[in-house]
Amino acid sequence: MLKYILKRLLYFVILIFVMSFLTFMLYNMIPGDPARVEVQSIKNKVPAEVYQQMYQQARQRLGLDDPLLVRYGRWMGNILKGDFGMSSVYKQPVRELIVAPMKNTIFINIFAILISLGIAIPIGIRCAVKQNSLFDNTVQVFTIVGYSLPTFIIALVCIFLFAVKLGWFPVSGMTTPNFQGTAVEAFFDKMYHLALPLFIMTIGSLGGIIRYVRAAMIDALHMDYVKTARAKGLKEKVVIYSHAWRNALLPVITIIIGWFLTIFSGSLVIERMFNLHGMGKFYIDALSNQDYNIAVTVQMFYFVIASLGNIIIDLSYGLVDPRVRVNK
Amino acid sequence: MSKENAKKKKSFFYLLSVKLFGSGKRKLSILEEEQVQSPLRSTIKQFKENKLSMAGLITFLLIFAFVFIGPYFFKQDLAFSETSQINVSPGLNLMDFPKELDGNVKQISVGPIFSVGLSNDGKVYVWGKPKLSKTMDMSKVPMGMGKVVKVAAGYDHVLALDQYGDVWAWGSNRLGQGAIPEEVEKLKNIKDIAAGYQCSLVLTEDGYVYFFGNEATNDFKVKNDYQGQIAKIVTSSDAVLGLTFDGRAVYLGKQKNAYANVPEGMGKVVDIAATASTMAAVNDEGKVFVWGNVSSYGENKVPETDSRIVSIQGGRYHYTALTENGETVAWGANFYKQAQVPDKISDTSIKALFTGFYQNYAVNNDGKILTWGLKGYPLGTDDLGRDILNRLVNGGKMSMTIGAVSVIISTIVGVIIGCLSGFFGGKVDMILQRIVEIISGLPFLPFAMILSALIGNNMTSNQKIFLIMVILGLLQWPTLSRLVRAQVLAEREKEFVTAARSIGVKRMKIVFRHILPNVISVVIVTATLDFATCMLTEATLSYLGFGVPAPQPTWGNMLFGSNNSIVIQNYWWRWVFASIILSICVICINLTGDGLRDAIDPKSRER
């Protein structure tokens, strides 16, 4: 088991390096010449020769003429040290800028995941237990619709219905401007603003989770120990929740663990539509403003989170289920 | 005899077949079915029995036919934009004039999407789409007007002249086009009124012209040389043309521009008209002269007529004219069929003609109103005045093409990598699987966005479309390659592979000729489901502004810019229709894919 973990971690490190190299290539594609930007301001103040000399010096100092691998090494070194460069729009280190959107995204996503799991798991179980019933078939159709609809269409419809027509929720934003009140009031104000985005995120992810829970539960219900439990004369409730569900939980829990990592990444579409200052909007804004230091950092971050998620899913299989404990 | 024989024969074979295979009417048990049906046929049968998937497939095929045949009827003009037609709500009622006006019409003046009519008894009617915005409603005709003798519809305001010589204005007053100046209010000898783009003009009996409204966009010289001689005025979208009492067409602006280049030697001019960017005059010999900024629509291509042209009217980019024996002709831009006089109208004798923007009203000798031109937009227009139905059809074609090409790319890559990885195993497998891991570990949407933003930075529209196809294709294949690999791993241990190997078939041939056909069902199902995913991803990318760039429409970028509450509420047609068709299409593809999977692998249905 330990060997497997180490192997996976080694893969992870290699993966990160390959990926960071790809990202660096992307980073290299960014149009513009940092050295020229640096000396641009003095272009008209000094003679052309001096300017050219200073430009060359800047190029040398920034190491723009070094071989690709050397530049990559320097770039990666900076990133590992936690130096992600400066944002060209905000004129602040990316590292400081990234904190606020990260907090918001985590705050939003924890609620979204808890709510959708709370709804999806009971429905999934019920579907599996009453397989091919009217309820099951209806839910199946809804889940297909659910994962077929793009988030932004669900969001448009919800905004139209609940924010514009009925006026229950604000159309966008995270807080009331110039809000003043106690911490509790501020929390409720935030939740009031986040209610619609959370609702949409829940609807959007419901389809996938229900299908997954249902499939896991159906598998579990077909097992022999469930038949044994029934044969013993146990109550159906006990059979379902104590025998079957516990076993169905195993695959579900691994997925949940993986999902918990996505709380950092944020939803691109929802955050943009509702003007929520989270990671997704941060990233889109950076791309639209051509603030590439931010974009590349967030991109790297996304990738690390995704690969970490994959590893944790793989490892947690072994942790939660002794039968599939990896011992290669 | 032969007939009887045939019947007998048939019944014999029928009996034989019943003996052998059962009647076919009776429901077969699963065992028998497997004996007589090839896997493909049983798959098709299974699929047909699944009503939901069949409905999905049929709907998808209908949408497919709609977007691929549609473009032959809805020609796409990417450079098209029309400021006078922006955000028009759906409906075909632009020319639905009120019944009261039929046989009783005195004058009709046409605005961009509304028309104002005047009956012989001095009543004003407004129809079309008079509600230009929440606060601006053209049908709110002011109270207290006397018997109206003249109406003039401008771009977003209406003028009326009543029997007491008072001018009334309603509609937009943002640039003072609706604020009647004191000097005009004092006038008692007003003869004519004209309303243009953000401006209003008043003409008196003694030939003086008064102007109010936006002077910046309209070239009009108040103290022009012709004050006191003007008999008629018309407006283009930014200039004013006058007709003097002695039959000269004169430009009333201060600038030296294309309008000021009034052709010489026109003789005695009897009527004048103007489109958005050209001016026209007709002389007493019936000859039409057109000048100004003549566009490629051909405002100057005056058709031959049997008799003399006596009066002329200008639309947005087309002219209509009436000859002395009541014949109607039209020329110029024809994209809404506004310059194509229907036979019904060209055959009858027309008494009066009223043209403006894209609508034409002809009044015959009985006073009946006949119309042609732009009826309206079945699905409304967007923020650049483009027909949404047209964009939906052409955008659908683009969306589906992008989805299809990306799926083809991803399927080819996925199948090749999956087959090689599964069949050869060992080091090849190890390396390929690491690549698969990297690609599938990429956060899809953000990565596609950064690629599109960085690589597509200075690309043309078409290159960017290809880029999107390739990005989607190259990021989509890992799932398929994993499935194919698993299948190939199972298949390669079977006897037929060993047999093929033993007779010396090359390894590559074994993989792609012997094994691949056995795993094709997985490929088909995954490709179908991937098609839906690709369309969704393309839509999301375009919606976020990182996909196909404007003006090329796709279902996704038609929704771009519709995420503010004003658009969502007031211009609902700009997002509702694209959303509906995109959703239906993706749902149908997913239903079809699910149905296919169930049909190919009945076991999956139990899950």
The ipTM, to two decimals, is 0.81
- Full domain range(s) for residue A243: 106-324
The answer on A170 and A21 residing in a single domain is no
The answer on A201 and A85 residing in a single domain is no
Q: Return the pLDDT at B33.
A: 53
Distance between first and last Cα of chain A: 7
Sequence letter at residue B562: S
Q: What average pLDDT does the segment B169-186 reach? A: 86
The answer on A218 and A93 residing in a single domain is no
State pTM to two decimals.
0.83
Q: What average pLDDT does the segment B15-36 reach? A: 55
pLDDT per position as a tens digit, B250-276? 898 888 888 888 888 888 999 999 998
What φ, ψ does residue B524 adopt, rounded to 5°?
A: -65, -45
What tokens appear for A151 in the block?
């988030």
Interface touch A302/B447, C-beta < 8 Å:
yes
What tokens appear for A14 in the block?
């290699």
Q: What average pLDDT does the segment B568-585 reach? A: 88
DSSP alpha helix (H) spans, A44-98: 48-62, 68-80, 94-97
Q: Which of A97, A119, A152 is the last residue of a domain?
A: A97
Rg (CA), chain B: 34
Contacts of B525 (CB under 8 A, 6+ apart): B593, B596, B597, B600
Min Cα separation A69/chain B (Å): 21
pLDDT per position as a tens digit, B273-317? 999 889 999 988 888 999 988 888 888 888 888 888 999 998 889
The CATH number given to whatever domain includes residue A314 is 1.10.3720.10
The answer on A313 and A251 residing in a single domain is yes
Nearest CA-CA partner of B417 in B516, B505, B500, B494: B516
Min Cα separation A299/chain B (Å): 7
Q: Return the pLDDT at B22.
A: 52
Interface touch A269/B449, C-beta < 8 Å:
no
Taking CA atoms, B152 is separated from A63, B125, B549, in Å, by 70, 12, 40
Angle between helices A245-262 and A292-320 (to 10 degrees): 160
Residue to mutate among A152, A196, A296, with most B CBs inside 10 A, is A152
The answer on A171 and A194 residing in a single domain is yes
Min Cα separation A115/chain B (Å): 24
Interface touch B587/A265, C-beta < 8 Å:
no
What tokens appear for B405 in the block?
């090409």
Nearest CA in chain B to A22: B438
Residue A139 has pLDDT above 60, yes or no: yes
Number of domains in chain A: 2
Q: What average pLDDT does the segment B65-75 reach? A: 88
The answer on A90 and A116 residing in a single domain is no
Contacts of B225 (CB under 8 A, 6+ apart): none
pLDDT per position as a tens digit, A51-74? 788 778 877 777 777 777 888 888
User: What's the mean per-residue pLDDT of chain B?
Assistant: 85
CB A286 within 8 A of CB A295: yes
Q: Which domains does chain B have, with CATH numbers?
A: 51-70+387-606 (1.10.3720.10), 91-218 (2.130.10.30)
Minimal Cβ distance to A30: which of B454, B569, B579? B454
Q: Whose structure tokens read 């009826």?
A: B375
Interface touch B453/A287, C-beta < 8 Å:
yes
Q: What average pLDDT does the segment A118-137 reach? A: 87
Residue to mutate among B436, B563, B590, with most A CBs inside 10 A, is B563
The answer on A128 and A74 residing in a single domain is no
Higher model confidence: residue A205 or residue B33? A205
The answer on A210 and A71 residing in a single domain is no
Residue to mutate among A15, A27, A148, with most B CBs inside 10 A, is A148
Indicate the pairing of strand B199-204 with strand B288-292.
unpaired
Which chain B residues have a beta carbon less than 8 Å from that of A285? none
The answer on A165 and A23 residing in a single domain is no
User: What's the mean per-residue pLDDT of chain A?
Assistant: 80
Min Cα separation A306/chain B (Å): 6
| Exposure of A128 in the CB half-sphere (CA atoms within 13 A) | 26
Q: Return the pLDDT at B607.
A: 47
Sequence letter at residue A171: V
The answer on A286 and A141 residing in a single domain is yes
| DSSP string for A112-176 | HHHHHHHHHHHHHHHHHHTTTSHHHHHHHHHHHHHHHS-HHHHHHHHIIIIIIIS--S-SS-SS-
Distance, in Å, from the CA atom of B149 to the CA atom of B158, rounded to the nearest integer, reads: 14
The answer on A174 and A309 residing in a single domain is yes
CB B311 within 8 A of CB B284: no
DSSP 8-state symbol, B27: P
